[in-house]
Chain A
Amino acid sequence: MMNQLIYLRDVVTLSLDQIKCVGCGTCLLVCPHAVLSLTNGKVEIANRDACMECGACAKNCPVEALRVRSGVGCATAVINSMLGRKDSSCCCTIESEN
């Protein structure tokens, strides 16, 4: 994947139970960072470090083969929660093109 920005190594909570996987491929469609691949009817985690734990794959897995502790990777939000503030002024003050 050319020019793909990658965050820290070996840190994400993404896990896959290949025995449960039915190979429907929906997870590949919703992943915004091409983390997963489909070979011989089974999904594989091909690019683990590119995962941002958005949770789309696990949410759309009909057989719960994928698991991830999802959340927004935002330092401000982590600090706010440490301080007991419920201020989610993080990603959502800035609008993407969607």
Chain B
Amino acid sequence: MHYTIEPGLYALGKPDEHSQVLVTANYKMSFDKLRDALPGRNAWVLVLDTRGINVWCASGKGTFGTMELVSRIKSSGLEQIVSHRELILPQLSGPGVAAHLVRKLSGFKVVYGPIRATDLPTFLDDGLKATPEMRLKTFTTLERMVLIPMELIEALKAGLIITPIFFVLAFLGNSGGAWTNALRHGLFASVAILAAILAGAVLTPLLLPWLPGRAFSVKGLTLGVLTAAGLIVFRWIGWVTWAGRLEVLAWVFLITAISAYLAMNFTGASTYTSLSGVRKEMRWALPLQIGAGIVGMILWLGSNFIA
């Protein structure tokens, strides 16, 4: 899935020894965004070997790092190609690069450019000055929407494994001959699981800033409860029997657990959650999610086997 380009020095337009040097990762999209942001300009682009990973992730892993930069300066012969000693790095390479060490080891001064490549023309024209907005990593609705397909596909994969288990259990539980009953239980399980996935992996990312709570699990839990409430209305007929009541209650637990869990996993895609924060959230949220899942399963089995 990764699109890699060859590391090394590239020319943008017709650069000379005075042209600026921009540094990026060897993930093709990073390179293309940089190139597309600077039409008609002359500059050098120094591409680091980040194993096809984008700037921010690579700097977090250290592959977009001080040592790689220093050795790439040497191997590309940059010192002979430009007369100045200045590099423009994307701001988000900060976690991997120590600017003061790069200077000490290579003689090149690191200037941190804006976060977004699209802000580069303004940054270059303003004498390498970034506005405070250019230095902020955002998480806009559009940026969150782009991430949804990935979250959804992963969740649906798991859903496809879990759903048949409910069908099998439903048929085992209703083996007295009530096949239609079993089918109904199984079909409702499919609908409920799908609804829980939509709540946790689609609606939570989409509505993130407006959902109550700071912990992602709380945001997912809120939507899970609302989704479960919606399904109860849809399955109102279930309340007449004890088995029906158990089944409905089971899905309140299960949908909430699934939605909260999926929402919690969206921390990895977000641009503002800290590891300490995620660990703190998980310490209470994960046991509750597992607990709610177990309680839900017991109630659901009860509704099938006891009735």
B229 within 8 A of A: no
Which chain B residues border A76 with CB–CB below 8 Å? 265, 268
How far, in angstroms, from A73 to B147 measured CA to CA in the complex? Answer: 16
A98 and B278 form a contact (CB under 8 A): no
With CB as the reference atom, state the residue of chain A lying closest to B98.
Answer: A59
| Residues 11-26 of chain A, each 1 if its beta carbon lies under 8 Å from chain B, else 0 | 1110000000000001
Contact residue among A6, A11, A75, A98 (Cβ-Cβ distance under 8 Å from B267): A75
A75 and B135 form a contact (CB under 8 A): no
With CB as the reference atom, state the residue of chain B lying closest to A29.
Answer: B112
B274 and A31 form a contact (CB under 8 A): no
New contact pairs (5) apart from A7-B272, A95-B29, CB-CB < 8 Å: A5-B209, A12-B274, A91-B269, A97-B33, A98-B90
B157 within 8 A of A: no
B274 and A60 form a contact (CB under 8 A): no
User: How many residues does chain A have at the interface if contact means C-beta atoms less than 8 Å apart?
Assistant: 50
- Please judge, given known A-B contacts A33-B137, A94-B150, A96-B56, whether A6 and B272 are in contact too, CB under 8 Å: yes
In the complex, chain B residues 83-136 whose Cβ is within 8 Å of any chain A Cβ: 90-92, 94-100, 112, 115-118, 130, 132, 135-136
With CB as the reference atom, state the residue of chain A lying closest to B149.
Answer: A94
- Please judge, given known A-B contacts A60-B98, A98-B55, whether A90 and B92 are in contact too, CB under 8 Å: no
B240 within 8 A of A: no
How far, in angstroms, from A51 to B275 measured CA to CA in the complex? Answer: 10
Identify which of B27, B29, B273, B276 gathers the most chain A CB atoms within 10 Å of its CB: B276
How far, in angstroms, from A14 to B278 measured CA to CA in the complex? Answer: 15
A70 and B273 form a contact (CB under 8 A): no
A43 within 8 A of B: no
A34 within 8 A of B: yes
B274 and A7 form a contact (CB under 8 A): yes
B177 within 8 A of A: no
A93 within 8 A of B: yes
A91 and B274 form a contact (CB under 8 A): no
Which chain B residues border A44 with CB–CB below 8 Å? none
B279 and A78 form a contact (CB under 8 A): yes
